[in-house]
Amino acid sequence: MSDATTAPTAASAAVAPVRVALVGYGLAGSVFHAPLIAATEGLDLDTVVTSSPERRDAARAEFGEVRFAATADELWPRADELDLVVVASPNKTHVALAEAALRAGLPVVVDKPLAGTAAEARSLAALAEERGLLLSVFQNRRWDNDFRTLAALLEAGTLGDVWRFESRFERWRPKPKGGWRESGRPEEIGGLLYDLGSHVVDQALHLFGPVDRVYAEAEVRRSSAEADDDTFLALRHTNGVRSHLYVSSTAAQLGPRFRVLGSQAGYVKYGLDPQEAALRAGERPLPREPWGEEGEAMWGHVGSGESPLTGGGTPEPTLPGDYPAYYRAIHAALREGGPNPVTALEAADALTVLEAARESARTGATVDLVGRR
């Protein structure tokens, strides 16, 4: 995992701030991107693109003198006044907006999924390389508290050789909310496979590397739903690890967030990282203040055991979650030559798996990825 947690240096603080235009002020823009941008030293939330008077009022109430544009097209003639475009609009607009920003000479951050297909993602990556510009994908759940803890356990060799990785992102939402995220229209790129599936697949690839075989089941359980709301993926990594990934809006009883089984020990962790809930509640990360922490009652367990009631093992302190690390890394990439925290080619690899999963769910067959990249 990239080390994106280093605090800004005194030298970097003197560099001109990165002027950011945020395209979209719905859930992604208002809950995740805007607060994290505003909390990052060296980033300045300059412009919010939204035509909604209500959303403008909400942004103005929190961010004061921020400027507004009704459409992204208003940004390109004044590209010289900006240093970064963040695309947090509906999925179907990601590719066109990222391409327009790159052609205007601006680095881009795009919320996941970067595109609807791996081919589109690789095309954007090629354009960014041609222009010499940063193109990064907001895979914030690489900085979840449980994921950071698991990555540290793997790095330390605590679990031995990992045999099986189980990851669940489950919710109980028996009534669909509607909107484009739950639309069945292919052009919307809705459904859980591309929404929460983008997170769990990215995490599996980041931890255990490339995949050569994919099997998936994608169901529409709720009577009024249009897109998949209960989906399972089975991945075979080239190193032999098997990943079983579950994303669901119809789980009346939630399973463990992670269950990881290795040759020396296992790690089991329940509950979701607290950062999204905190951001939704209006809490904001502040310098030198605790953020992303959870109580001991939520810690996972590491070890082995045969008890059918308690499992076994000992409590493992959960590392704090750190979504702000992503935008600190973006600032370092733009101003200090640091690495891109999440590249477009990494996103393309995840999209290759998601496309294979969609094919497998449609046909019922396992999909071999050898030779597809």
Average pLDDT over residues 173-181: 72
Cα(33)–Cα(85) distance, rounded to whole angstroms? 11
Q: Could you give phi then psi for residue 240, rounded to 5 degrees?
A: 100, -15
Please check whether residues 238 and 357 belong to one and the same domain.
yes
Please check whether residues 81 and 179 belong to one and the same domain.
no
Q: Residue 313: which domain range?
A: 145-272+286-322+353-363
Residue 220 inside a domain? The answer is: yes
Structure-model confidence comparison of residues 241 and 176, the more confident one: 241
CB 332 within 8 A of CB 343: no
Please check whether residues 74 and 151 belong to one and the same domain.
no
Lowest mean pLDDT segment, chosen from 13-17, 41-45, 74-78, 276-280: 13-17
Please check whether residues 190 and 158 belong to one and the same domain.
yes
How many structural domains comprise the chain? Answer: 2
Please check whether residues 15 and 130 belong to one and the same domain.
yes
Q: For the segment 316-362, what is each residue's pLDDT rounded down to a tens digit?
A: 999 999 999 999 999 999 999 999 999 999 999 999 999 999 999 99
CATH for 55? 3.40.50.720
pLDDT of residue 14: 62
Residue 346 inside a domain? The answer is: no
CB 206 within 8 A of CB 137: no
Confidence of residue 31 (pLDDT cuts 50, 70, 90): very high
Please check whether residues 136 and 150 belong to one and the same domain.
no
Residue 80 inside a domain? The answer is: yes
Residue 29 inside a domain? The answer is: yes
pLDDT of residue 84: 98
Residue 268 inside a domain? The answer is: yes
Average pLDDT over residues 87-91: 95
Confidence of residue 228 (pLDDT cuts 50, 70, 90): confident
Task: Indicate if the pLDDT at residue 168 is higher than 70.
Answer: yes
Task: Indicate if the pLDDT at residue 133 is higher than 50.
Answer: yes
Confidence of residue 180 (pLDDT cuts 50, 70, 90): low
State the sign of the Cα–Cα–Cα–Cα dihedral 363, 364, 365, 367: positive
Confidence of residue 267 (pLDDT cuts 50, 70, 90): very high
CATH for 310? 3.30.360.10
Average pLDDT over residues 236-256: 95
Cα(134)–Cα(70) distance, rounded to whole angstroms? 25
Confidence of residue 104 (pLDDT cuts 50, 70, 90): very high
* Percent of the residues in the chain that have a pLDDT greater than 70, as a whole number: 91
Average pLDDT over residues 266-289: 96
Task: Indicate if the pLDDT at residue 241 is higher than 80.
Answer: yes
Please check whether residues 239 and 266 belong to one and the same domain.
yes
Please check whether residues 266 and 171 belong to one and the same domain.
yes
Please check whether residues 261 and 198 belong to one and the same domain.
yes
Q: For the segment 197-213, what is each residue's pLDDT rounded down to a tens digit?
A: 999 999 999 999 999 99
Residue 36 inside a domain? The answer is: yes
Please check whether residues 110 and 235 belong to one and the same domain.
no
Please check whether residues 124 and 188 belong to one and the same domain.
no
Lowest mean pLDDT segment, chosen from 3-12, 27-36, 102-111: 3-12
Residue 256 inside a domain? The answer is: yes
Residue 344 inside a domain? The answer is: no
Cα(11)–Cα(99) distance, rounded to whole angstroms? 32
Cα(167)–Cα(196) distance, rounded to whole angstroms? 11
Average pLDDT over residues 228-256: 94
Indicate the pTM of the whole model: 0.91
Please check whether residues 33 and 182 belong to one and the same domain.
no
Task: Indicate if the pLDDT at residue 40 is higher than 90.
Answer: yes
